Amino acid sequence: MEWKISSLKDLEHYFWRCTACGTCRSAYDFGPPPITRPICPAGTEFGFEGYYSSKGKAAFARGISDGSLTFDDPEFLEAIYKCTVCGGCQNQCQVDYKPHIPEVIEAMRREAVKNGAGPMPAQKNLVQSMKNYNNPYQGPRRVRLDWTRPFKKAKTPIKDINVEPAEVLFYVGCTGAFNKIAQAVPQATARIFQKLGIDFGILGESEVCCGSTAMRVGDAEEFKRVATTNLEAFRTLHSEKGVKTIVTSCAGCFRAIKKDYILSSEYNQMMDGIEVLHTVQYLHRLLKDGKLKFEKQLPWKVTYHDPCHTGRHLNKFRVDKDGSELWEGAYVGVDESECLYDLPREIIKAIPGVSFVEMDRIRGNSYCCGGGGGVMTGFTDWAGKNAGLRIQEGMETGAEKMVSICPFCYFNLTEGSKRIGSAMTLHDLTELIDLALPD
């Protein structure tokens, strides 16, 4: 299987399009009323221009490419990992660098890994764990099924798709499976599926990490290994077990399969006949078809946090490939139709009793929880601190609970809430749905 993963050299033309105008430092909207908010977690924490947004990342990339900056400087190495790859900066930029910003950040990391310097020590453990256990949490394979215990106890076991066929594969993801706090997410998802009588199965112990974390920290080789394994497994499940839909509750896995796996030369062939959906998309369809019917009241005042991976990371950028529209490589426009902005909000609003309030920074300008891009592993303290900022923003709306659709955000924001001594609790949207459905 061939993979088309860009090197920093391939992207040189694009990071040289950055004007250093600094517009990416904050999310600004003319309105009226006008609104300006910080958008870059790294800049907010570390302050110097190099850390700030895509402007700073273009500076680093230029420094690497002209030989001024090298990975043997440990401070520099750290600096390229002190970024959550959230794409908040990308949302502000309007020049031809825009479509390639996260790619440039990750290409620098790939360069660091190639040089034997990257990733950060804690992230190296994570990649090693992927090699050893097929998950980044150093968890033995059998632990992957821990979250299913309540189902066994209740005598409502979940199908093992390796054994029994099912149309829907619920791809759990490593965070939901191994992270004790985030286990609430697959549990709620599975309960909903059971309540709705959906024919679904899981890979159980044989599930392999999607590779997102490896890709985000620059280990393209490890990413390719697991992604290839998964693509092959998906194909087999389709042909042998009748899988037509892969559903995941993990924003990271969803982003990886939708945006990183397509870098494979065989993606179309492997995924032919298989649809990949985030749980929210799957359940929203059922809501529209009248099959998801809420009965119970949920008297909660909630706000919603858009995860980067189900939001702006799913932007589809239109780039003029051959110069027929503007010029070769020109950024032409962005299509946000695949970003999951409206669906979760529509579901939240459909739940009886829920009162919904928005934060200032939402949708494309959502403020990252601080856990992405390997930061939760590499710089745990900063990740929690940043999550506290987001919780604070949520509290300012008067909401008591923050809802999201990513186990990573779920965990990190929970940490953030604890850290600032907030009473705000985190909830995956599936938990709300589960509570509002009849038993």
Chain positions contacting other proteins, by CB under 8 A? 13, 16-26, 28-36, 46-50, 55-56, 59-60, 62-63, 66-69, 73, 75-76, 79, 92-96, 326-327, 330-331
Minimum Å gap between C-beta 31 and ligand SF4 is 19
**Rounded-to-integer distance, Cα 407 and Cα 225, Å:** 24
CB 320 to other proteins: min, Å: 11
**Which residues, at least 6 apart from 195, have a Cβ–Cβ distance to it below 8 Å?**
434, 437, 438, 439
Q: Examine residue 53 and tell whether it contacts ligand SF4 (CB under 6 A).
A: yes
232 in Cβ contact with 203 (< 8 Å)? no
If one asks whether residue 27 binds ligand SF4 (CB under 6 A), the answer comes out as: no
Taking CB under 6 A as the binding criterion, the range among 87-95, 243-251, 270-278, 403-411 that sits at the site for ligand SF4 is 87-95
Contact between 227 and ligand SF4 per CB under 6 A:
no
CA 183 to chain centre: 17
Listed in order, strand segments (DSSP E) in 32-156 are 35-38
Beta strands per DSSP E along 82-211: 159-160, 168-171, 200-202
d(CA 94, CA 50) in angstroms, rounded, equals 20
User: Which span (82-90, 388-396, 409-417, 431-439) binds ligand SF4, by CB under 6 A?
Assistant: 82-90
Look up tokens 């939001």; give the residue.
311
Out of other proteins, ligand SF4, none, which partner does residue 73 contact, by CB within 5 to 8 A per kind? other proteins
Rule CB under 6 A: which of 278-297 touch ligand SF4? none
Q: Which residues contact 243 (CB under 8 A, 6 or more apart)?
A: 161, 165, 166, 167, 168, 169, 234, 237, 274
E strands, 90-158, in order:
none
Regarding 20 and contact with ligand SF4 (CB under 6 A), the answer is yes
Which listed option, ligand SF4, other proteins, none, makes contact with residue 88 (CB within 5 to 8 Å by class)? ligand SF4
Q: Which is nearer to other proteins, 44 or 228 (CB)?
A: 44
Among 50, 88, 136, 186, binds ligand SF4 (CB under 6 A): 88
Interface with ligand SF4 by CB under 6 A: which range of 50-58, 210-218, 250-258, 269-277? 50-58
8 A C-beta contact, residue 311 and residue 341: yes
According to CB under 6 A, which one of 5, 8, 11, 24 is a site residue for ligand SF4? 24
φ and ψ of 409, to 5 deg = -60, -40
For 123, residues 6+ apart whose C-beta sits below 8 A from its C-beta are 81, 213, 217, 374, 377, 378
Is 21 among the residues that bind ligand SF4 (CB under 6 A)? yes
Q: Does 92 bind ligand SF4 (CB under 6 A)?
A: yes
Q: Does residue 23 bind ligand SF4 (CB under 6 A)?
A: yes
192 is a site residue for ligand SF4 (CB under 6 A) = no
123 is a contact residue toward ligand SF4 (CB under 6 A): no
Binding segment for ligand SF4 (CB under 6 A), chosen from 83-91, 191-199, 272-280, 342-350, is: 83-91
Question: What is the per-residue burial (b if ≥16 Cβ within 10 Å, else e) of 273-307?
Answer: ebebbbbbbbbbeebeeeebebeeebebebbbbbb
Stretch of 81-89, 107-115, 146-154, 158-166 lying at the interface with ligand SF4 (CB under 6 A) = 81-89
Decide: 159 and 166 in contact? Cβ < 8 Å: yes
Cis amide prior to 32 (ω within 30 degrees): yes
Figure out which of the listed residues 5, 8, 18, 406 binds ligand SF4, where binding follows CB under 6 A.
18
Residues 364 and 315: their CA atoms lie apart, in Å, by 9
Q: Does 148 bind ligand SF4 (CB under 6 A)?
A: no
The residues binding ligand SF4 (CB under 6 A) are 18-24, 39-43, 53-55, 57-58, 83-89, 92-93, 95, 97, 368
